[in-house]
Structure 1
């Protein structure tokens, strides 16, 4: 069991020059990353750099995923991922 957990965790990490440079914390998907060189290491949409919390808050404020995606100029699927990721963080807290 331990080996499965470790193997899965390493699949979520991007390693360059024997160092971890990026973590894909949302089930290893490319849409969300934690990168210490971007936005002070907070979770962001990988392509745009928009913090996931900003996308999730925009959905709540605007009332739709589509409006939030339009405002931040990101895809609807990225906003969906950000909302699910942020809800997962809240459940874990």
Structure 2
């Protein structure tokens, strides 16, 4: 999935359930950050150090209370620039 036009601050949407794999400090392993369709805000982009062709997207998804959640690294196929139908 191409996300070349995404910029910091853009809205993105989870395409899958995003779960803490233990790498997000201060959050429980297994905690669900987003379900398909959850809106988030793109905070930054980067690449996997050992796989420079693999782009990462740092996203803060909205919590059930509507507040911004913790920053979560997502792969390109885990987010969409368009709301899910």
TM-score bucket (shorter structure): under 0.3
**Structure with more of its chain in helix, by fraction:** 1
**Structure with more of its chain in strand, by fraction:** 2
Q: TM-score, normalised by structure 2?
A: 0.25
Larger Cα-atom Rg? 1
Q: TM-score, normalised by structure 1?
A: 0.24
